[in-house]
Structure 1
Amino acid sequence: MTDKRTISAYTNRVAEYLRILLPPEQLEARQAFVDAVGADGYVLDLGSGPGSDSAFLMRQGLKVRALDATPAFVEHARNNGVDAHLGTFDDITEISEFDGVYASFSLLHAPRADFPRHLSAIHKALKPGGQFFLGMKLGTGEHRDDLDRYYSYYSEAEIEDALVTAGFTIDRTQRGVGKGLAGSYDGFILVFAHA
């Protein structure tokens, strides 16, 4: 399922999205993902947005395939040298292909009912021992924000249970608070795991 209202909200705000400053926890996590994957690793940036993280990962020496459901984001990423592709979470069909999957605040747009299926597909797409980074907002339920984007919220325990059920080993987690595109300050969790 792809939520057209969420895609529309992003399509109309590419420039605003590019101006968002990442909190220190996310900047550190991005570098930690690079370090965990290692030089020349092949990674999937899942829900890559306009490709800012992909570009960073590439500058650090990783080979990156970017996937996003918003055409305007994919176009921007391609125009900036990123190997970006239009697609949804359901397009993860690779088997033991990636050294890492980077999902920074993207899977929170998937319906709760689909979350376990997507995590399972990510686990299969990773090579044995492959690194998985997951950024999610903390909370409860499913609802839309002030920009009409669809969100699923989870507790830390729910996220950890879902990852373990999908076959992941959790290496560490970190909590933080950040200001997003809608202007609200939200609690989040960053999870490092491996297949």
Structure 2
Amino acid sequence: MSGDPETLRVYDARAADYARVTATQAPDPILSEFIAALPSGARVLDLGCGPGTDAGHMAASGLQVEALDASAAMVAQANARTGVRARQADFDTFVAEGHSAAYHGVWANFSLLHAPRAALPGILTAIHTALRPSGQVHIAVKTGHGSARDSLGRIYTYYQPQDLSDLLRATGLVPQSQVTGRDPGLDGVMAEWIAIRAQRG
């Protein structure tokens, strides 16, 4: 997740609320498709894991799950999930660590939208480097233009579907599937979103 102080303040203060908002009893179809695209027992990184809801589902399916988030409160929530190993780190730390062919999959679900637009190509390059050949990456962001703070103070960078697809391709990540939707977030506002699953070329 972003190192933006105000965004982190919100997530630290609202971690329990966010866990309730994102709670699910089973993987949703997008996560199920991601899991199915990976080999049995695959090693996966949840990049910006939040309270670890999805990480918990991935661990329950038999994947080896590592997770990171810049919010200490979110990391504490994620570490309470069976089979999840979470640590506190932001996107800059992930990039600087230089993971090489470490993961079969990277799950970045509504996390990279908190990174500055100028930082995204570098993060995607780091994801490409971190993936094994034919590795899978999932990215979900809100659609729109520019960047802005929501009513809670969180910073968002918005993308158009073609822009996100082009950024992925430019770093050697080839889109495999795309889903769009509209849902309320922690702030209660309905927002359009896009999720893309891509494969390391």
2:86 aligned residue: 84
1:139 aligned residue: 144
Deviations 1:102-161 (A, max 9, x none): 000000000001011100000100001000111111000011001100100010111011
2:100 aligned residue: 95
Q: State the distance in 2 between where 1:68 and 1:36 align.
A: 24
Structure 1 residue aligned with 2:186, among 172, 178, 181? 181
Q: Is 1:124 the counterpart of 2:125 in the alignment?
A: no
Scaled by the length of structure 2, what TM-score is found?
Answer: 0.92
1:104 aligned residue: 109
Q: State the distance in 2 between where 1:30 and 1:80 align.
A: 17
1:19-98 matched pairs, under 5 angstroms = 19-21=20-22, 27-81=28-82, 82-92=84-94, 93-98=98-103
Q: CA deviation at 1:89?
A: 1.1
**What is the aligned-residue RMSD (CA, Å)?**
1.4
Deviations 1:15-65 (A, max 9, x none): 210111579xx8110111110012100000000001111110000110000
Q: Identity of paired residues, percent? A: 38
Q: State the distance in 1 between where 2:133 and 2:81 align.
A: 31
Runs of 4+ aligned structure 1 residues displaced above 4 Å come to none
* Equivalent residue letter for 1:128: P
Structure 2 residue aligned with 1:113, among 105, 115, 118? 118
Could you list the runs of 5+ residues in structure 1 that have no partner in the other structure? none
Q: Number of residue pairs matched?
A: 193
Change (3 A) 1:124 1:135: same
Could you list the runs of 5+ residues in structure 2 that have no partner in the other structure? none
Q: Is 1:155 the counterpart of 2:160 in the alignment?
A: yes
